[in-house]
Amino acid sequence: MTNKQLTYLLSLTLSFFLIGCSSTQPKPQVTKGEQFPLMYQEQPRSILILPPINESTDAEAKDFYMTTVETPFALKGYYVFPTEMVSEILKQEGIHDASTLSSMPLDKFNEYFGADSVLFITIHKWDTNYAVIASSMRITISAKLISTKSNQVLWQNYQTVTVDLGGGHSSSLEGLLINAVLTAVSTAAADYVTYARQVNERLISTLPAGPYSPAYMQDESMPIK
């Protein structure tokens, strides 16, 4: 092997090594401050949660979900307007359809309630998929926090929880019948509210802490997982 060939071989080996190293380099994580800078600029103190838009096949999904959403945002350090009070006031104003709220001027929520921000929620999935030997439940929620002062999106997230409700697997006729019964029991006993709370935990994991939290304005450099 000539010196020229040896030099070429060494250069080629080094190139492959550098490519391999660069491909294994972990990507830098985005911080909360980088992802949601307006949260730290506007520093909202209160959140008004609107009744969610229900795109799922379950007509009761909206009512079930509303029992889970107030507490986690309050624990995150924000003043959350009581959802039942807000819903009742909106009904008194003749607003029954959640989809019409998206077209309302947001400054009205600041004028009437004194809210710094409004939380818009959409329930995309709140469904159970049935099968003979297995079934699963999926809850998918998206949330968007918008300022009532600047009309800017301060924070948003989209999360899904999928739960396997199957009763096991078997190829025999007897086993299939047993699994069908177990699946039906598991599906009937499925607690949507419990899993909705899990979705909320995932949703607010990226939300910067509010003014009533010890972590307020201290988590700007925290990476989003």
**The pLDDT of residue 193:** 82
Q: Please state the φ and ψ torsions of residue 196, each to the nearest 5 degrees.
A: -65, -35
Q: Is residue 57 a part of any domain in this protein?
A: yes
Q: Is residue 4 a part of any domain in this protein?
A: no
pLDDT band at 10 (very low <50, low <70, confident <90, very high): very low
Least reliable range by pLDDT among 9-13, 81-85, 188-192, 199-203: 9-13
Q: Is residue 122 a part of any domain in this protein?
A: yes
Q: Classify residue 119 by its DSSP letter.
A: E
Q: Is residue 123 a part of any domain in this protein?
A: yes
Q: Cα dihedral angle (129, 65, 47, 43), rounded to 10 degrees?
A: -40
**The pLDDT of residue 64:** 87
User: Of how many residues is the chain composed?
Assistant: 225
Task: Quote the number of domains for the chain.
Answer: 1
CA distance 147 to 163: 34
What pLDDT, in 10s, does the model give residues 153-188? 999 999 998 877 664 444 444 444 444 444 444 444
CA distance 164 to 131: 11
Q: Please state the φ and ψ torsions of residue 146, each to the nearest 5 degrees.
A: -120, 140
**The pLDDT of residue 59:** 86
What is the bridge-based pairing of β-strands 153-164 and 135-147? antiparallel
Q: Is residue 191 a part of any domain in this protein?
A: yes
What is the rounded average pLDDT of the residues 186-193? Answer: 56
Least reliable range by pLDDT among 109-113, 137-141, 156-160, 175-179: 175-179
Q: Is residue 225 a part of any domain in this protein?
A: no
- CB 63 within 8 Å of CB 43: no
Q: Is residue 19 a part of any domain in this protein?
A: no
**The pLDDT of residue 95:** 74
- Cα 48-53-59 angle, rounded to 5 deg: 125
pLDDT above 90: residue 122: yes
Domain range holding 166? 37-204
**The pLDDT of residue 41:** 97
Q: Report the run of H or E that residue 144 belongs to, with start and end.
A: strand 135-147
**The pLDDT of residue 23:** 47
What is the rounded average pLDDT of the residues 6-23? Answer: 49
CATH code, domain with 46 = 3.40.50.10610
Q: Is residue 215 a part of any domain in this protein?
A: no
| Secondary structure class of 75 (helix, strand, coil) | helix
